[in-house]
Chains A and B, each alone.
Chain A
């Protein structure tokens, strides 16, 4: 158990819909990272939040947004969903400096 909690584990929805994925980092970690894992693109960095502030963005679509709340949990919002958005979405957290990134078990999104 990495200590990172993600909900929901599975989500099935239709094109055009909007979903919210939730992540709670390890106790004491201020950083939350979101990654997307798809068959053709592998693991891709989406966005990083540190203590409520956005710190870095990857190739995140404009239809996607995220935020980190005062209690440090984070939400990834995916809107106007397309078939190609079907993927595993991972949240990860870490402590200070360069070191281990702790991943949650992921949220599997299926868009039909």
Chain B
């Protein structure tokens, strides 16, 4: 099955700096890569996603890049703010899931802390 590795496990930045989180996946057939943000006491919430036919996607201060050849994808957050502090998870859709489109393999998570 799919295996997703995420780095770093913790990331500390100053407000206004950029933050980058990287993930690699193992199954070359994977075709959907979402990023989720989890705040304390809450469930994960989708912040951005990318499909395998796209190399880059941007939404305001957040961008995701995908390198299918190398089987890795990255989350970039620019102009970080204290409210960006949370745990971030990358994921890959398990292509063996058939029509279980929500069957995702998650990375281990990155604790992002943005210092004012």
Contacts and interface: CB of A to CB of B under 8 A. Distances in A.
Do the two chains bind? yes
Interface string A34-60: 000000001111001010000110100
B49 A100 contact: yes
A76 interface: no
Contact of B46 (A31, A58, A100): A100
A98 B107 contact: no
B103 A48 contact: yes
A2 interface: yes
Contacts of B34: 100-101
Contact of A106 (B43, B51, B108): B43
B102 A33 contact: yes
Contacts of A84: none
Nearest to A58: B103
B78 interface: no
Contacts of A4: 43
B45 interface: yes
Interface of A: 2, 4, 31, 33, 42-45, 48, 50, 55-56, 58, 90, 92-94, 97-101, 103-106
24 contacts: A2-B43, A31-B102, A43-B91, A43-B106, A45-B104, A45-B105, A48-B102, A50-B99, A55-B100, A56-B97, A56-B103, A92-B102, A97-B101, A98-B31, A98-B32, A98-B93, A100-B34, A100-B46, A100-B49, A101-B102, A103-B43, A104-B43, A105-B42, A106-B43
Given A43-B109, A45-B104, 9 more contacts: A43-B104, A45-B103, A55-B100, A90-B43, A98-B101, A99-B101, A100-B46, A101-B46, A101-B102
